[in-house]
Amino acid sequence: MESDFALAVDIGGSKMAVGIIDTRGEPLAEPVVYPLPFGTDQAADPEALLRLLEPQVEQARRIPGVLHGIGLSVCGLIDEESGEAVLVPNLHWRYVPFGRMVRDRFGLAIYPSTDVRMAVLGEVVWGAAREARHFAWVTIGTGFGAYLYLDGKLYGGKHGFAGNIGHNTIDEVDGYPCGCGRKGCLETYVAGPAIARAGQAALETGTSPALQRLAVDGKVTTGMVFQAEAMGDPAAAEIIDRAIGMAVIGLAGLVNTLDLELIVLGGGVAHGCPDFPERVDRQIRRYLMSAEAGQDLQIKGESLPNSALFGAAADVFVRRGLVRLE
């Protein structure tokens, strides 16, 4: 059977996922994940990414049906028309014309956007948010941020930056420095680096026997803290509880402000333990202003294997009028 499909690309901080997905949200080939081949302190070479995409584009061209274009999900700020990567911190990209390079190389239409917006589209079109009209996609990983879907529409705000809850200030006097250049942002209490930092402190003060065993060369990672908690380590459990508690305060603020019906949680930290969404769900209600909000609010985990990747395909279909949002 011939189908309508798109090539979906999701460029994250350390890896790039590529999939061929049709208008029903079915992958036509097993999605492939490439670690991005460069160090952490110099700008990533866009040519290297194009070379990784080449075999995927060739494979998509061999599938019978119509290849409608390339959906480009990028972890950063990207111009949705030109595909110019305005700022992609993890790749050290500033004003890299990546979208044009992809279009010129493969001669296909491109549909670029930031990964959180793509993730919202994936969940709305094929995932957990299909019935929702007021919801937030929230990612808790290296950072802490949200993207909003309000009144049945994507909501980006004036500059497309709406939903940056992680950079609301909690303590600008004694807080930790944040990646945004300021101090004491909510993200510095919630995201992966905060958990690793607290785990490191527990190791150094000798309060966590499990982290003592897990640490490699005296270093604790976020994943190790989750692992220590799963091993029954009380210090690790307290660290994770504290991070979830701070995330909950931020999320409750979002629900009190916007009267949301659903929050979908994704990102590496939210995937750190299987009961993460339930733990948020249990704690959030006591911060909500109305009983109605408490009754109707649902907290779910990401429902697609990679919402941003599926969303990159959904964006192609929505912008070409093949799939309608409502």
| φ/ψ bin of 270: left (φ > 0), alpha (ψ from -120 to 50), beta (otherwise) | alpha
Whole-number minimum distance, CB 114 to Zn ion, in Å? 17
Binding of Zn ion at residue 178 (CB under 5 A)? yes
Whole-number minimum distance, CB 172 to Zn ion, in Å? 10
Residue 156, exposed/middle/buried by CB under 10 A (0-12, 13-18, 19+)?
A: middle
- Binding Zn ion by CB under 5 A: which of 36, 162, 180, 322? 180
Q: Which is nearer to Zn ion, 2 or 174 (CB)?
A: 174
- Binding Zn ion by CB under 5 A: which of 185, 284, 299, 304? 185
Please identify, among the stretches 64-72, 96-104, 178-186, 204-212, the one whose residues bind Zn ion according to the rule CB under 5 A: 178-186
Whole-number minimum distance, CB 183 to Zn ion, in Å? 8
Q: Which is nearer to Zn ion, 46 or 160 (CB)?
A: 160
Binding of Zn ion at residue 190 (CB under 5 A)? no
Binding of Zn ion at residue 167 (CB under 5 A)? yes
Tell me how far apart the alpha carbons of residues 228 and 196 are, in angstroms, rounded to a whole number: 12
Q: Nearest CA to 202 among 165, 243, 166? A: 243
Q: Which is nearer to Zn ion, 29 or 180 (CB)?
A: 180
Q: Which is nearer to Zn ion, 181 or 321 (CB)?
A: 181
Which residues on neighbouring strands pair with residue 72, listed in sequence order?
9, 112
Tell me how far apart the alpha carbons of residues 182 and 184 are, in angstroms, rounded to a whole number: 7
* Ranges within 12-71 binding Zn ion (CB under 5 A): none
Residue 254, exposed/middle/buried by CB under 10 A (0-12, 13-18, 19+)?
A: middle
Tell me how far apart the alpha carbons of residues 95 and 82 are, in angstroms, rounded to a whole number: 11
Q: Nearest CA to 124 among 113, 136, 115? A: 136
Q: Which is nearer to Zn ion, 167 or 300 (CB)?
A: 167
Whole-number minimum distance, CB 66 to Zn ion, in Å? 43
Q: Using the Cα atoms of residue 299, residue 151, residue 187 and residue 296 in order, give the sign of their dihedral.
A: negative
Q: Which is nearer to Zn ion, 58 or 171 (CB)?
A: 171
Q: Residue 85 is encoded by which pair of tokens?
A: 């990567």
Number of residues that bind Zn ion (CB under 5 A): 4
Q: Which is nearer to Zn ion, 19 or 193 (CB)?
A: 193
Tell me how far apart the alpha carbons of residues 276 and 230 are, in angstroms, rounded to a whole number: 12
Please identify, among the stretches 69-77, 108-116, 184-192, 239-247, the one whose residues bind Zn ion according to the rule CB under 5 A: 184-192
Tell me how far apart the alpha carbons of residues 83 and 63 are, in angstroms, rounded to a whole number: 26
Tell me how far apart the alpha carbons of residues 86 and 205 are, in angstroms, rounded to a whole number: 42
Q: Which is nearer to Zn ion, 183 or 319 (CB)?
A: 183
Whole-number minimum distance, CB 180 to Zn ion, in Å? 3
Tell me how far apart the alpha carbons of residues 105 and 95 are, in angstroms, rounded to a whole number: 19
Please identify, among the stretches 31-39, 76-84, 113-121, 162-170, the one whose residues bind Zn ion according to the rule CB under 5 A: 162-170
Whole-number minimum distance, CB 179 to Zn ion, in Å? 6
Whole-number minimum distance, CB 267 to Zn ion, in Å? 16
CA 153 to chain centre: 19
Q: Residue 36 is encoded by which pair of tokens?
A: 């991005």
Please identify, among the stretches 40-48, 96-104, 172-180, 253-261, the one whose residues bind Zn ion according to the rule CB under 5 A: 172-180
Q: Using CB under 5 A, list all residues that contact Zn ion.
A: 167, 178, 180, 185
